[in-house]
Amino acid sequence: MAYRINDEPTVEARWKPANNGRSLAFPGDVVRLLRSMPASGQMLIKVYAGRTSSNEGAFKLAGLDSVRRKIATMCNWPQPE
């Protein structure tokens, strides 16, 4: 899969399929990923289903700050360095 946030360079990575085979899970540091996202803009995600086809979606990041704070509190994130 690949993702791009706003006009930043595209990041390609292998995400792990979930047990049901219908979703993907980020294999890296999720806290770092969520903290790196800006409070506004757009995230474009492209998922490759095989060698030739892909599915993509765009997600607005507006409102991410309040959601990120709630997740940080509920999951007891460490303080940023």
The pTM is what?
0.75
Taking the C-alpha atoms of residue 10 and residue 22, their distance in angstroms, rounded to an integer, is 23
Angle at the Cα of 64 from the Cα atoms of 61 and 66, rounded to 5 degrees: 160
Q: What Å distances lie between residue 62 and 12, 18, 44, CA to CA?
A: 23, 27, 14
pLDDT digits (tens, 9 = 90+) for 5-63: 999 999 998 888 888 878 888 888 999 999 999 989 999 999 887 777 888 999 999 99
